[in-house]
Amino acid sequence: MEVVVAPDPGALSAAVADAIADGIVAATEASGRAVVAFSGGATPEPMLRLLAQRDLPWDTVTVFQVDERVAPDGHEDRNAVMLQRALTDHVPAISYLMPVTAGDLEGAAAAYAALLRDVCAGVLDVVHLGLGPDGHTASLVPDDPVLDVEDADVAVTGEYHGRRRMTLTYPALGRARRIVWEIAGADKAEALATMMANGDVPAAGVRKDIATVCADAAAARLLGDRA
């Protein structure tokens, strides 16, 4: 696992954009296309804006979501709003949003998993992940049954911070070719150190051998020799 510590949030955004761009180029050179899944949250928007400016083979890229809140289309709680605003409205990539407005959420999760299988046999080239102060990643949240899902690539959580979520599961993340973490802020420092030590947080369950962990100095302050 590679660890990149950036001095500030701006440098972190650039480092993550570099890592994802490298993954897109490598995938395109290997197979003629790249399939990428992006997380939401408060951190990624500057990085996505930088990525949208990169001279990449965007017409060969397919974008999926890592997770999404169950909220109406266009609602600011939706990760899709930020993803479209910062990236997919500006590049000719194909994008598939999680169908969280469906009446049957479990059926919609199964349909999204089927779409992943159809597009890339369930093997994502690059997955972008974040980290919450409680150690969650994607919407793999503490104490939720979603953590135990082994037979589905997409699942629906219980309510978390006021919303149910749809999320990629550990099996889907585990088959990815490359994972790029983007972790910013002092409030993530303890969770990051616990994740790196394989402690008891959901993020520790994600494969590390395919990962690049990019963190700003504030988030990385407890890593010591691992940084």
Q: What is the mean pLDDT of residues 190-200?
A: 97
> For 197, left (φ over 0), alpha (ψ -120 to 50), or beta?
alpha
Q: Give the start-to-end residue ranges of the domains of the chain.
A: 2-226
- Give the other-Cβ count within 10 Å of 26's Cβ: 15
Count, residues in the chain: 227
**Angstrom distance (rounded) from CA 150 to CA 156:** 13
Q: What is the mean pLDDT of residues 151-165?
A: 96
**Angstrom distance (rounded) from CA 169 to CA 174:** 9
| pLDDT reported for residue 77 | 94
**Residue recorded with tokens 């978390």:** 160
| pLDDT reported for residue 226 | 58
| pLDDT reported for residue 210 | 96
| pLDDT reported for residue 42 | 82
| Strand positions, DSSP E, the chain | 2-6, 34-38, 61-65, 67-69, 94-95, 126-129, 154-156, 165-168, 179-183, 211-216
**Angstrom distance (rounded) from CA 205 to CA 78:** 25
3-state secondary structure of 157: coil
Q: What percentage of the chain exceeds 70 in pLDDT?
A: 99
CATH number of 2-226: 3.40.50.1360
Mean pLDDT of the chain: 96
The sign of the torsion formed by the CA atoms of 203, 179, 47, 101 equals negative
Q: How far is CA 121 from CA 118, 155, 172, 198, in A?
A: 6, 17, 11, 29
Q: What percentage of the chain exceeds 90 in pLDDT?
A: 97
Confidence label for 41 from pLDDT (cuts 50, 70 and 90) = confident
Would the pLDDT of 224 be above 90?
no
